[in-house]
Amino acid sequence: MKYPNGKRLNTSQNTMQAKMGSVFSNRGMTLEDDINATNKFYLESNKAIIHKKPTPVQIVKVNYPKRSAAVITEAYFKQASTTDYNGVYRNKYIDFEAKETKNKTLFPLANVHEHQMEHMKSVTDHGGICFLIIRFSMYNETYLLEAENLFYYWREKLSGGKKSIPYSDIAKKGYLIPFHYQARIDYLATIDKLYF
């Protein structure tokens, strides 16, 4: 291939570019972007209906410098949000939170709030499928951790234990989600194995 500069790459350059491509292929993409693209694919292929929940905001002040350029200058959250995503898959309610961390050795539980934990517990108590998707950006690895496992670490935290989940525990108890082209973060493949 003679792209982008019109010159043919030699074999050693091809090998080096392929190695670098695999390391940097997902750079610049956020976990949220990947999940949104995955959910769009699920919707378009009629596999599931899962959406990002809107954050309830109360707009207080708007600046109108001209009619077509309104700018919100002051707004407040109406209430604490629950989790990031919810929807329906195979007649089951799906609800999950997505978090990204640059930490190499652990996932800080400070990234999850008490009201989110209460919501997730309520979802599981009512028979819904609830989980956490965690991306360790330094490793470019994304895991699905079932809510029940998250509850265990949360109880430990509340009783004076660790305030984080070790990376090694997430790698053992969680499920690595490989990156794909269309369904970038194909978490439903893991849900199929766990629940169906």
The pair of structure tokens assigned to 90 is 């195979």
* Residue 97 annotated as part of some ligand binding site: yes
Give the C-alpha distances (Å, rounded to integers) separating 158 from 117, 120, 130: 12, 16, 21
d(CA 50, CA 38): 10
* Residue 17 annotated as part of some ligand binding site: no
Pairing between β-strand 106-108 and β-strand 129-136 as defined by DSSP bridges: unpaired
* Residue 190 annotated as part of some ligand binding site: no
Work out the number of other CB atoms within 10 angstroms of the CB of residue 132.
25
Whether residue 92 contacts residue 195, with contact meaning beta carbons closer than 8 Å, is answered with yes
Whether residue 17 contacts residue 80, with contact meaning beta carbons closer than 8 Å, is answered with no
Residues in the chain: 196
- Render the burial of 17-31: b for 16+ CB within 10 Å, e for the rest: eeeeeeeeebeeeeb
Annotated binding-site residues read 82, 84, 97, 116
Annotated binding-site residues for Mg(2+) read 82, 84, 97, 116
